[in-house]
Structure 1
């Protein structure tokens, strides 16, 4: 898991949100795919399409997809949120992109400021007690508490990437990845 790529993704999504773009692409890695799926479950991202360098057809971003869905681990699944537009081959595996359709509400981006918490030189982990304090709004270690209802904190756990409230429900801790305000 490369936290350098996570920092690049966070700054890219910040720039896209400030520019008020409706469509963007990021590099397709396992960590990015799982983090974007977690963001979509929280309602921050609209649609996710897995494709190549060129953008997907507009009907995949606007309506119900007709292509096969792909789970986070790459296997086909009926309930997944990622749509695949091109087959994966050895020739195009390095150029795979995740195309994200961003959400807007009353002309404001739903995805606000996204900041990485753990950095490549300093990985921050939290246990269950620390997560409970952060969710209640208190500071725990170097992580500030959640201040607003729409704020999210994403963690990498042994059960996958989850939001902090889900981690407390499932009683697990993990590596703090990023905060979305």
Structure 2
């Protein structure tokens, strides 16, 4: 069995966990997350603990248990505290603004890039910084990666959209290489 899934998962006091068939629904102060688990994973809700076990042994089932445990923990943290990722725009003329709930990006293209959030995602904008927040860790990461892919950072000048604190490897240009 996976090491993560061997111990029962403690359910925080302000998180409510319910079962709906093969799904587990996590409710908390920030919202709701629903996770679907495969048939090989046995779900037991006991008091303030969530126990995940496997019907059959095997390497693949052990991996599924570890994944199910990690998804459960992430969902509990998400509905309790929420997740957020921060992105920065670097470049002359690169701008970001909110139009209602939509994110409008000016990235030096002939058109503005408009990104609409899903129901669980909230955008916040400060100058050239974007904060993507929500209760589902997977959704926050996916939307952040989608935004970053609209104009990924380029290695020569560092222009583009990058995560806050991300280190961009810079390359020397043609002039710097030929002068040496």
TM-score class, shorter-chain normalisation, is under 0.3
Question: Looking at CA atoms only, which structure, 1 or 2, has the larger radius of gyration?
Answer: 2
TM-score by structure 2 length?
0.25
Q: Which has the higher contact order (CA 8 A, sep 6+)?
A: 1
Structure showing the higher strand proportion among its residues: 2
